[in-house]
Structures are given as structure tokens and as C-alpha cells.
Amino acid sequence: MNVHCFDTSALVEITHAGLNAAKFAQALAKAETVIISTISIYEIARYTTHAAGETATAEILAFLHQYRITPVTAEIAELAATLALRHKLAMADAIIYATTKTQNATLWTQDNDFEGLPHVKYYPKIRPS
């Protein structure tokens, strides 16, 4: 099965028309199943409210809720602790990666903390010139 998890950096690119948006949007469209960690919901709501306001946040969250939002379970939290230590990941990143692994998914990201990890499609962030 073609299961993709999109982290916050990929979702921000898609929803805020970043320079990598087309790559991530294409993967989003081709996925059979899309999962999003509740941690990413928190992070994108916080980012978008700050960057674009509450109306934009409501629109983006409505868009994201068409996909499978995966809550942080005890299994995910325990795996995240192990992954954080093994790969030197911050808590949010570890939870997102653990969510990906428990769902047998591929993580799509432009967060360089995930670069080189198994089951990750990493694209470096493109900075405007």
C-alpha cells in the first residue's frame, strides 16, 4: 500500500506555496493513504496563525482534516523516545517519525533532521534568492 506521512515542513510548503510545493503536492495527490500526525496539526496551526491569521488557519486545517489524522498513542510515544535517542531527534520530530513507522508509511519532508533516515523522502528546503 502506498502510505505517505507529511511532516509540518512539507505541509507548510504545500499550503503556503513554497518553492518545494509542487514536489510535495504531487506526492500528496499520488498517495493511496495520507496520514498526518497530530503534532503536525499543532505545528501548522501555530505557524499559520502567526504567519497568515486565523481565517487562513481554519481553511488549511479544514483541508488537512480530509486526511487521516493520527493521534499520539502510547505505542507511538514509546517508539518516539527510542527514535529520539537513536537519531538525535527533537520530541516533535521523533513523534512524527514514530507515527510514520507505526503506519508503515514514507515520510515526506524538507526538515534536514530526517535526512538519510530510512523510509524518508527528503528534499532540501529551497530558499528564495
pLDDT digits (tens, 9 = 90+) for 61-104: 999 999 999 999 999 999 999 999 999 999 999 999 999 999 99
What's the one-letter identity of residue 66? Q
Predicted TM-score (pTM) of this structure? 0.95
> Tell me, what's the pLDDT at 98?
98
The residue among 28, 34, 37 whose CA lies nearest residue 7 is 37
**What ranges in the chain are assigned the alpha helix state H?**
8-15, 21-30, 38-52, 54-64, 74-87, 91-102
Q: Say what the pLDDT of residue 128 is.
A: 82
pLDDT in tens, 103-120: 999 999 999 999 999 999
The answer on pLDDT for 39 being more than 80 is yes
pLDDT attached to residue 129: 78
Quote the percentage of the chain above a pLDDT of 70: 100
Q: Domains plus CATH for the chain?
A: 3-122 (3.40.50.1010)
